[in-house]
Amino acid sequence: MTVPDLGIRPDAVKRPDDPLGPKLFRAAIFVAILVPAIWSATGLQIDWPSLNPFRWVTDWEITLQWSWPYLILVAIVGLTVYWLSKRLTWSAAAAAAVLVMPWLNIWNEDFFFFDIWNIVHRLAPPDLSAEAVQRALPKVMESIFIAWVGTMIGAFFSFPLAFLAAKNMTPPWVNTGIRQVLNAIRAVPELLVAMLLIPITGLGAWTGTMALGLHSIGTLGKLSSEVVEGIDGGPVEAVGAVGGGQVARIRFAVIPQVLPTIVAYWLYRFEINIRASAVLGVVGAGGIGAELVAQLKFRDFARAGTVLFLTVGAVLIVDTISARLRRRIISGEPEPSPLTNFLGRTWWQRGLALLGIGIVAGIVVFLLRQLQVDLSIL
């Protein structure tokens, strides 16, 4: 019987080149994990003020005409609406609506969260003088570092535990036991761990790092083991079929399936740990928290505002980068840059978008001038 010759494939196809991008990406992740790990092995003796890239700038003057928190709020509303709707017009309209709210005089004493506003009002404008920033910035950096090293400690120990805790990898008496240990670790809040550790490791960054690390072992171990339980058994069988043993099955069939998701969980945990590390300082476990408490104690609200401003800024930046990395690791492809997302793909689209933003901004400024609105009265 004849076989149809489909003849749709070319006979000789050129071999493609090994692309460099993914390798560089992997190398970068490796370095980012390894360098802080070595650093932390030295006991976190980092001279943060000397690492501050702005330390040479000792004198600047920032005079705030408008209330910063309010403008940030406007920006956040605008961006959020953009993310939700993907329409520039809607987001501009929402931002404009929030911007005009004060003129409508709804945010006065009768407004329901007046008390909250009262405090926010006092924190604003934050003291952004050179001295204040130079004092708070190293502490913010220390907080981020505590979170990163803590997360890496959690990642390092939770990774093997995740395989031991997975029901499809070990006999029940092993995985049940490990799972219960992970649950127990998870049940203790970071702050409590830090307080328990202070008598052992003393006050300072190392305590906060250990506290976050320990808690992260619990949460990451549990999440990762669930990822391992959800694998597709097909590739595992395929490794067996080429003559691989149990170790080869894990290395070639299980890890490649679970690693992207697990690394994404590490980053996600890092984002959570940054917030946690900002609080750890309150009990004396290092980072920015202690500074905030001190300034509030002295009733120096402008300085407390500095701390909040820098912390929120740092968290937003780190979150954005981390979230992008996570998506890239999961999808395995580079994402379009945020510029592309925001302003469009082609140059004429970007030009048009920038022009539109410029016009809207111009109109707003013009109106503000005309109406002689002084936002600093906020």
Partner 1 sequence: MIEFQNADVTYPGGFKALSNVSLTIEQGELVVIVGLSGAGKSTLLRAINGFVPITAGSVRVNGTEVRGAHEATLRELRSGIGMIFQTFNLVHRTTVLNNVLMGRLAKVPRWRSMLGLWPAADKEIAIQSLERVEIVEKTYIRASNLSGGQQQRVGIARALAQQPQVLLADEPVASLDPVTSHTVMRDLRRINRDLGITTIINLHFLDLARSYGKRLIGLRDGELVYDGDIADVDDETFRGIYGRALTPDDLKEGAEL
Residues near partner 1 (CB under 8 A) are 1-4, 6, 9-11, 13-19, 232, 234-235, 237-245, 247-248, 251-253, 256-257, 259-260, 332
C-beta closer to partner 1: residue 131 or 335: 335
C-beta closer to partner 1: residue 49 or 230: 230
Angle at 306 between CA 316 and CA 81, to 5 degrees: 35
CA distance 197 to 191: 10
Which residue in 271, 264, 299, 294 sits closest to 281, CA to CA? 294
Reduced to 3 states (helix: H, G, I; strand: E, B; else coil), residue 274 is helix
- Min separation Cβ 249 and partner 1, Å: 10
- Min separation Cβ 267 and partner 1, Å: 17
CA distance 314 to 145: 12
C-beta closer to partner 1: residue 200 or 241: 241
C-beta closer to partner 1: residue 120 or 264: 264
C-beta closer to partner 1: residue 130 or 248: 248
CA distance 70 to 267: 30
- Min separation Cβ 20 and partner 1, Å: 10
Residue 149 and residue 286 in contact, taking contact as beta carbons nearer than 8 Å: no
CA distance 38 to 61: 39
Buried b (16+ CB within 10 A) or exposed e, 184-213: ebbeeebbebbbebbeebeebbbbbbbbbb
- Min separation Cβ 333 and partner 1, Å: 8
Residue 207 and residue 44 in contact, taking contact as beta carbons nearer than 8 Å: no
C-beta closer to partner 1: residue 214 or 253: 253
Output DSSP code: residue 252: I
C-beta closer to partner 1: residue 123 or 239: 239
- Min separation Cβ 33 and partner 1, Å: 17
How crowded is the C-beta side of 10, counted as CA atoms within 13 Å?
4
- Min separation Cβ 230 and partner 1, Å: 13
- Min separation Cβ 11 and partner 1, Å: 8
